[in-house]
Every structure is written in structure tokens, then in C-alpha cells.
Amino acid sequence: MEEVDRILVRALADVGTEIPDDACSLGQFSTEMIVEGVVRCLQRIDPPSVNGLSHLLPPGMSARFRLGMSLAQACQDLGYEGEIGYQTFLYSNEQELRRLLMFLVERLPRDGAESAHQPTAGKPAVLQRAMAARIRQELATPWLPPSLRTPGLLATQGSRAIQEFCSQPLSLPGIWPAGKNIPTESKEYFDRYCPPVTAQVNHPCVAASVLERAAVELSAVQEWDVEWNGQGLASRLSPEDYRARKCQRLQRRVQEQFQRCVQHGPGAASHSTSDLAQLLQSFGTGLAGTEMKGSRFTHTERFTFTQEAETAFRSMDAVRPSSKESEEGVRAQQEEEVKACEQQLEEVSLRLEEVSGDVKHLLVTVTQVREEVHQAEQAAAQKEELMGVKRRTLELLPDAETNLCKLQAVIEGSAQRIVKLAHQWEKHRAPLVSQLRELKEVHSNREHESTRKLEEIKALREKIKTSAEEAKRKEVLYRQLVTELGTLPKEVGRSAYTQRILEIVTNIKKQKEEICKILSDTKDSQKEVNSLSGKLERTFAVTDELVFKDAKKDEVVRKAYKYLAALHENCSHLIRTIEESGTILREVRDLEEQIESETGKMALGSLEKILADYKAVRQDNTALTLKLQQA
């Protein structure tokens, strides 16, 4: 049990329980340590089950009883089948506590237990230990005011070493896709002319710039993986085709947006329109190829702005101060000019807003008029068609009977021709329909097959990713364990533990063999007893029958028969007495074991605790009663 207690103590310490260094067995646990250990384990296994429960033992007895009942219910919800209640935590014995803690420790999540006190990487583990050692060293160094710090302390406790996180763009060779050649100009630039990273930015910004560049590239790779595994695989295109189609779609959206801005932005200046036209020309649209003549409003606006600018410049030239005027007069004139220009700018802005509103209203009116014209043209076309039919009907009216006969003959011929064409169409249609059905079925099968393969590819990708992460985690854990193994003391080797385990296994095997031998001897003895009992019964029956026959004729035989019956009865009574004595001995052994177990439970100590708690509860009740009476 000592080994089991050590394992349990180590597991409780790993989950965050405060255990003294000298505590090596569960018998040394106090009630506070038991409650804290159970709450910590439940927080790791099932956090919602202990939501709101504190790992600290409350001072009041009623609160302690409620906490014990809540913990017992949480353990039962997890599947603990042993006897458990508030007494398990408040008046615990070593055996019940051991069973409960073994149940909880077996259900602790491995990942959570490992990540609680172990780093997740080999080199990061060493770095984390070095950081922890340096932090402990700095915390152990006493703090001194700035006026008393030595040059060495100024480097650690001063604020001069603190730098802001400032990054700058870096010029680095990118990752070129597989199968594409690197351009000669780029390769020559990065080989000959591109300066190193430390020369591209200032020294304090090197680390920040490199970290930002690495984060950007990593996020781009992750976003591409997510997009390709989702929409990319569903599109059933190659990565190059998917990128090309995405680029075309983006260009089309930008082009449509620019066209919308050009068509619905009449308040824009003429130079911005020309810029947009040039930009559209770079995207290959047809709008930029035509000359942008501009509307009447743009010409008026251009003329107004040009005239106002020339007037402003002339006024500024006319009111330039001579060298004899003072600087204060010049400043006053400049302020007046600025105010006049601002007022003029506000007037022009108001005028622009009014004109823009008028233009929008006119555009809406033009759109409505175009729709009305389009509707009128459609109505006129329908009326013209109806008028043509009526004109032809009027032309046929003078010779109506002849025309009716001709029309009837034309209708019959058309009907016969339609029937023939229908028969011909049915001859061609039947094989085409069967072929269409076959093609649809083939296409459906291929669609299902491709969907199934796509799902398999996705599942395989997820499995590969999970396996790679698991392999990386195990590799990291292996390195970490190797590092920890190197730091462990070499006093006790692994062979000693292995030898001890082998000895324990050997003892268990010997005990098993002895138990099996005892069971076999017991079975053989039971078989022999049953055989002798049966033989005795049969012998007595035969002897009783023979003696009973002779007892009717001879008095001596009659007395022998009576002695035989008495002997059989006494022997049966003796056998029953021996069996009852064996039963009594077994019961005595069971009672002795129960006495030992009850003695190990320290019932007297628990009873004393219960009496003390009962007195405390009575005192609390008395105090509450007095408060109620006073209130």
C-alpha cells in the first residue's frame, strides 16, 4: 500500500493539491487536504459537476455537511459504486479514501494532467525551465530604489531595456510554387543586391519584424489550407486553376465596382473620371477605350473652378503687400483672404450638393421615361402584329368560300405533315431518351463516386493531420522525457525497479499457484467426502435390510439391529457437530476480520469527531435561536 499511496500523493500534487513534503501516505491526510484533493480531481475530470464548490473547507458544520454531500453526489454521478457520503470526507478511514482516490486518479485526463506541469516541446521545455530559473533568480534579488542601484541592477530593474514592438517590412525571397522557375531578375536581386535582415531595419526592430513576417506567412498558409480543404476540394479543380478562377472573380468584382462608380457618380470631378477610365483600361474594359467627353455639368464645373482659381490668384497678386507694409498688416490680410476663400469654398460645396441632387433626380426621371418608352414600344409592336392579322383577314373576305376550302386543305395537309413528323420524331426520340437516361445514370454514378472519394480524401487529410500532430506530440514528449531522465539522480537505477517489479510478479504467481493448489485439494476432499457419504448410505441401507430380515427370527439379531441404528444416528450427529464447528470457526474468523477492519477505521476517533461536530452544531443552533428571539 505504500507504493499506491505514493502514486496517489504524486497525482494529487500534480493536479494542484497543497500537500506537505513529509506526507507520504493517506493516513497523514487531514480533512482539509482530502476535500481539496477531491475537488481538484473533479475539476479536472468534470468541471460542471463542481461548479460553485470551493476547495477550501468552510468553518461552519452545516456548510461542511452540504459540501460533503455535494462531493459524494458528484462522485456517484461519475460512476463510483462504493459506499460514499459526507462521512467519507469528514470522518474518513484510510481504506475508503484509498478506493475513492484511486477511482478519481484513474479518470483524470492524461492530456490535462500532462499539460498542467509539463511543457509541450523539447526545446521549449528547456527554454521554459531557463526562464523559470531566471525569474526565480530575479524574484530572489531584493528591489532597490533607482538612486541605490548598481550598473548591473540597472540593466535588469531599470526601464532602459524596454522597447516598443515596432516592425518594418522586410524584403525576403518568397516560397515559389513547385514546378515554377524563379525569375532571373528576382534570383539575381536576392543573390547579389538584397541586404541582410539586420541591415534592412533598425536593430531594435529586427526581432519584431521577423516575428511579424513569420506570423503573416504562417497565417496565409493556414488560411489557404482551410480554404482549399473546404471550397477548393468541393470545386474539383487543381490548385492552379482554383487560384486563377479566384483571381478572375476578384478582377471582375473590382471591374464591376469601378463601372458602377463611373455610371452612378456624376458629382465626381473630370480628372477623377479620367483616372477611373485609365484604370478600367488597365483591366481591359471597353469603357476606357472610348473618349470620355464629359457631361454638361462636368464642363460647367471645370469652367467654374478654373475661373474661380484664376480670380483668386489674381486677387492674391493684386493684394500682395509691398515691402514697406508691416508684417501685422500682411497677416491680417492673409487671414481675411483665408476667411474669404473658406466662405467661397462653402458656397461652392453647397452649390455642388444642390447640382448633385438635381442630377440624381434627373437620372431617376430619365430611367422612368426609358421604361415607359420601352413599354410603349412593346404595346405598339403587339398592335402592329394584330393589325397585320386583321389586314390579311380583310383581304380574304371577297372570296370567302374558296379561301375557306383552301385553308381547310392547308390545315389538313399541315395536320398530316405534323403526324408524320411526330412519328419520325418518336423514332428518333426513343434511342435518344434511352441514351440520355444511360448518360444521366453514368453521370449520377460518377457524381456519387467523386463525392465519396472527396469525403474519403477529406477524412484521410484529417487523419493524416491528426497522426502528424500525435507523432509530433509523442516525439516532443520523448525528447522531454529524455531530457528529464538526464537531469534525474543516478543513485537508483532502472534495474533495481525492474528487479523489484519482477519479484512482485513472481510472488503473485506463487500465491496464485498455492491458491490453485488449495482449491484443487479442497475439491478433491469434497469429492472424497461426497463419495464416502454415498458409500456409507448405501452400506447402511444394505446392512439394515439384511439385519432387519434376520431380526424377525432371532432376539440377538434384533438387539444388533437396534445397536446398528443407534450407531448410525450417533455418527450422523457427530458429522453434523463437526460441520457446525467448522461453520462456527469460519464465522469466528469473519468476525475477527471485521474487528480488525473496524479497528483500522479508527471508529473511536471518528466518534469523537462526530461528538465534537455535534456539539458545534448544537452551539450554532443555540446561537441562531437567540438571534431569532432577539430579532
Instruction: Say whether pLDDT at 266 is over 60.
Output: no
pLDDT class for 301, splitting at 50, 70, 90?
very low
- For residue 510, give the H/E element and its range: helix 494-551
C-alpha cell belonging to residue 626 = 437567540
Mean pLDDT of the region 587-596: 85
Share of the chain above pLDDT 90, in %: 5
Residue type, 618: R
Quick: pLDDT tens for 418-450.
Answer: 999 998 988 888 899 999 999 999 998 888 888
Spatial contact of 252 and 345, defined as CB atoms under 8 Å apart: no
Contacts for 4 with CB less than 8 Å, ≥ 6 apart: 98, 102
Instruction: Say whether pLDDT at 520 is over 70.
Output: yes
| 172 CB-side CA count, 13 A | 15
580 vs 179 pLDDT, higher one: 580
pLDDT for position 305: 45
Quick: pLDDT tens for 370-409.
Answer: 888 989 999 999 888 888 888 877 777 777 778 788 888 8
Spatial contact of 593 and 586, defined as CB atoms under 8 Å apart: no
Quick: pLDDT tens for 449-480.
Answer: 888 888 888 888 889 988 999 999 898 888 88
Give the distance, in angstroms, between the CA of residue 95 and the centroid of all CA atoms in the same chain. 40
Range with the largest mean pLDDT of 8-12, 218-222, 438-442? 438-442
| 279 CB-side CA count, 13 A | 15
pLDDT for position 461: 87
Burial of 381 (0-12, 13-18, 19+ CB in 10 A): exposed
Q: Using CA atoms, how far apart are residues 89 and 63, in angstroms rounded to an integer? A: 13
pLDDT class for 121, splitting at 50, 70, 90?
very low
pTM: 0.34
Contacts for 344 with CB less than 8 Å, ≥ 6 apart: 308, 312
The CATH number of the structural domain formed by 2-117 is 1.10.418
CB atoms within 10 A of CB 328: 8
- For residue 128, give the H/E element and its range: helix 122-140
